[in-house]
Amino acid sequence: MLDFLEVIKNEFLSYFVPEKVEYKIEGECKKCGKCCRYMYSFDTYTEKEFKFMQFLFPSYRRFYIRGKDESGNLIFACKYVTEEGLCSVYEKRLPMCKRYPAKKIYYPGKLHEGCGYKIVKKTFEEYLKK
């Protein structure tokens, strides 16, 4: 009977696992500037939407559309990144820049090729051990 209750409890808890997924970030920034030159937006699909976002959030005026990828998604860049890949407004960079790469990822994202950081995901076995 107790085993059965344990199974029910684990089955119930398993529904919350995706909400607890945490990613560890390892490594360090190599200062290549790729993340400031090639950005995607989670919810900005058209130029019009981008203009509207800039209207709502004036700090986003530092970004511009640099092109589209093969799937038609907009690619953004920041006008404050230097030729050397450094931030020219480092002390005044946005909170999203300070947090990058964020520990908790709520959307399918990945780091740029060659980025000095690495995202380490907890394996299913590690969750079971807890």
Which residues of the shown chain bind ligand SF4 in the complex (CB under 6 A)? 29-36, 62, 78, 80-81, 87, 89, 93-94, 97, 112, 115-117
CB of 21 to ligand SF4, least distance (A): 21
Omega within 30 of 0 (cis) for the link into 58:
no
CB atoms within 10 A of CB 7: 10
**Dihedral class, residue 31 (left if φ above 0, else alpha if ψ from -120 to 50, else beta):** left
| CB-nearer residue toward ligand SF4: 11 or 28 | 28
Q: In terms of CB distance, is 44 or 62 closer to ligand SF4?
A: 62
| Total count of residues recorded for the chain | 130
Q: Would you say 31 and 112 are in contact if contact means Cβ atoms under 8 Å apart?
A: no
Ranges assigned E (strand) in the chain: 23-27, 63-68, 74-78, 117-121
Q: Provide the minimum distance between the beta carbon of 86 and ligand SF4 in the complex, in angstroms, as a whole number.
A: 8
Yes or no: say if 105 and 15 are a contact pair by the CB < 8 Å rule: no
CB of 100 to ligand SF4, least distance (A): 6
| Shortest distance, position 23 Cβ to ligand SF4, whole Å | 15
Q: Which is nearer to ligand SF4, 93 or 122 (CB)?
A: 93
Closer residue to ligand SF4 in complex, CB, 15/42? 42
